[in-house]
Amino acid sequence: MNGLMNFIKDNFSAFVEVMSFIPSEFQIWHASEVAILVLILMFALAVIFLCNRWMKKYKLGITASVLLTFLVLSLTLGLTGFFFSIPRLFANMFDSFLVVCIGSPVFNLVLGVFASLGHRLRNNHPIAGTILLFGTGLLFAYVLFTTFIVFALRLYN
């Protein structure tokens, strides 16, 4: 049991370490890097507002909204990691998978709560709810970019 806790702690701390490592080491040198950042931001915002649309369409409660958003965000990160690991099939991607698989669910759950609260707030206060959803999208873009860094560049080692 102690080994399992150390395993989870090590992989979660590696994900958080990459998240804190990105702002200090990432530098934009080419227009293609800006394009990647803009695409990640647009994709993250689209996923958050898609979740908001589904919450509105199906009239979900708070718990179901959080669960729906958590599942959609986790699926998005999983598919992103899968697609970014395809070009690096010669390398062992199992370590990267474990770092993202153990590190991101905590952030996805928190982002699911924020998105659900933004949806609820948007019903009575449209501007405040939209701002909260946009902020949630920015935070999810950061988690998505961290996933990109872990799989594409393997900077956590």
HSE-CB at 111 with a 13 A cutoff on CA atoms is 30
pLDDT over 70 percentage in the chain = 93
Q: Which residue has the tokens 């898609």?
A: 50
pTM over cut 0.85: yes
Residue 68, pLDDT > 90, answer yes
Q: Please give the pLDDT value at position 151.
A: 80
Q: Please give the pLDDT value at position 32.
A: 84
Give the mean pLDDT of the chain. 88
Confidence band for 125, pLDDT divided at 50, 70 and 90: very high
What's the domain count of the chain? 1
Higher pLDDT, 89 or 13: 13
Domain that holds residue 99: 2-153
Q: What is the DSSP letter of 90?
A: T
Q: Please give the pLDDT value at position 59.
A: 94
Neighbours of 151 (CB within 10 A): 23
